[in-house]
Structure 1
Amino acid sequence: MAKDMTLLWGSGSAPCWRVMIALEEKNLQGYNHKLLSFDKKEHKSQEVLDINPRGQLPSFKHGDNIVNDSYAACFYLESQFKSQGNALIPDSPAEQALMYQRMFEGLVFYEKLNAVIYYKWFVPEEERHDSALTRNKEALATELKLWEGYLKKLGSGSYLAGKSFSLADVTVFPTVAYLFRFGLSAERYPVLGEYYALLKDRPSIKASWPPHWLENTKGQDTLKEI
């Protein structure tokens, strides 16, 4: 089953991590995978382009089926292997609705995070402005307060859609992990800090933890003042 799967991925890529967590949750260990280097532009190689014409990672193939978008791949894995591993879509209509809502809000969350931590990479030097970066940081701070509120409302020990780990956590946790990797204060955002602590040692997350984060545990302090 898993031997028919191929994942081309990059270390520290949140979209890649989402798919890897989903694969672990569905007990699909043993799939073919290859770690590629963004720095060496390996994501633009012919090997990737043959699966993903956009030249992006993840690039995922199951048999003849290609699903490269990370959210789509997570839905695909849950649909195809529904009875295997952990169920990732709640049965409760209320929790299911909340799961979908948080999943897709998670895309906005991820964009606002990237607008701060990757500002120097995304924006050419001659187009950078301190005022723009300040606005990006303010937008991220507003977003963080929103997610603090979401989790606080659910209560201590909750996942993003309630009491069960779901696709919302699969897709959004990598963003939360990035926050703390880049210096977010758990004292300033204690509910997000509690959520991060709750999930970081989950087997599927530990098994797929970015290799270069294991090699260099220090991280950065980009978000320490937010």
Structure 2
Amino acid sequence: MAQDITVMWGSGSPPCWKALIALHEKNLQGYNSVLLSFDKKEHKSQQVLDINPRGQLPAFKHKDRVVNESYGICMYLESEFKSQGNKLVPDCGRAQARMYQRMFEAQTMQQKIMDVVAYTWRVPEDERHDSAVKRNAEALTAELKLWEGYLKTGPGPFLAGKDFSLADVTVYPNIAFLFRFGLCEKRYPNLATYYNSLKDRPSIKATWPPTWLENPQGMDMLKDFESNTPSFSHCVIRNCFCNPLL
């Protein structure tokens, strides 16, 4: 069954990580895993383009069915393998509504992370405006405080309630990315508690980005982003948050 699945992915990319977590939650570890290098531009290779003409990762194929959007992959796996592995969509209508709300609302979080990160990447240093950097940082700060509130009011311990769901599959990699690059745990205690509580979940631990394992120290680029002008490098974006809107 899993042998019919091929996933091409890059280490450190949250969209790729979402797909990998979903595969492990559905007990599909025997899939054909193809780890590619963004540095070497392997995501633009013909083997990727044959599945995903956009040349982006993840690239996913099950039999003759192609799904390349990370949210779509997660939803497809839960639907196609509903009776296998862990159930990722709650039966309770209230919890299900909360799950879908948090799941798709997280795309706003992704965009605001990218607004902060990509500005430095895309705009030459002599063309940057402190006002734009400040505006993007303030928007991300407000977004993260919103998620702090969600986790504080519960019902928890997971994003949709008492059970791990697609909301956690799709949101956790974004939150892990933030702490990987220095988000202050003391400033965001509820996000930090959520992040640390899931580190050892088998699906997350088994799919932890290998580049992060090689360098567990991480970076401090987001440590003071609320009060200071953030500084992000091209390699961080290329290696760690590629294809963020998939």
Note if 1:110 corresponds to 2:110: yes
Q: Which residue of 2 aligns with 1:63?
A: 63
Partner Cα distance (2:182, 2:82) in 1: 37
Partner Cα distance (1:127, 1:12) in 2: 29
Once the 2 structures are TM-superposed, how far is the Cα of residue 130 of structure 1 from its aligned partner?
Answer: 2.1
Q: Which moved more, 1:196-205 or 1:113-122?
A: 113-122
Secondary structure at the aligned position of 1:35 is classed as strand
Secondary structure at the aligned position of 1:9 is classed as strand
Q: Which residue of 2 aligns with 1:184?
A: 183
Secondary structure at the aligned position of 1:173 is classed as helix
Q: Which residue of 2 aligns with 1:136?
A: 136
Give per-residue Cα distances to partners, 1:128-173, cap 9 Å, x unaligned. Answer: 2222111111101000100000010005x51001111000000000
Secondary structure at the aligned position of 2:113 is classed as helix
Once the 2 structures are TM-superposed, how far is the Cα of residue 198 of structure 1 from its aligned partner?
Answer: 1.1
- On the 8 A contact 1:117/1:222 being kept in 2, the answer is no
Partner Cα distance (2:125, 2:16) in 1: 28
Give per-residue Cα distances to partners, 1:8-45, cap 9 Å, x unaligned. Answer: 10000000000000000000001111111111111111
Partner Cα distance (1:50, 1:44) in 2: 10
Partner Cα distance (1:126, 1:19) in 2: 38
Partner Cα distance (2:119, 2:209) in 1: 21
Q: Which residue of 2 aligns with 1:158?
A: 157
Partner Cα distance (1:124, 1:197) in 2: 36
Give per-residue Cα distances to partners, 1:180-217, cap 9 Å, x unaligned. Answer: 00101111110001000111111000000000000001
Q: Which residue of 1 aligns with 2:72?
A: 72
Secondary structure at the aligned position of 1:117 is classed as helix
* Amino acid in structure 1 at the alignment position of 2:123: V
Partner Cα distance (1:203, 1:38) in 2: 26
- Figure out how many residues of one structure are paired with residues of the other and give that number: 225
Partner Cα distance (2:71, 2:89) in 1: 13
Gaps of 5+ in 1: none
Q: Which moved more, 1:2-11 or 1:110-119?
A: 110-119
Give per-residue Cα distances to partners, 1:20-78, cap 9 Å, x unaligned. Answer: 00000000001111111111111111111000011100000000000000000000000
Partner Cα distance (2:15, 2:105) in 1: 15
Partner Cα distance (2:218, 2:2) in 1: 33
Partner Cα distance (1:123, 1:68) in 2: 28
Q: Which residue of 2 aligns with 1:169?
A: 168
Once the 2 structures are TM-superposed, how far is the Cα of residue 126 of structure 1 from its aligned partner?
Answer: 5.1
Q: Which residue of 2 aligns with 1:5?
A: 5
TM-score w.r.t. the length of structure 1 is: 0.96
Note if 1:97 corresponds to 2:76: no
* Amino acid in structure 1 at the alignment position of 2:109: F
Structure number with the bigger relative contact order (C-alpha 8 A, sep ≥ 6) is: 2
Once the 2 structures are TM-superposed, how far is the Cα of residue 124 of structure 1 from its aligned partner?
Answer: 4.2
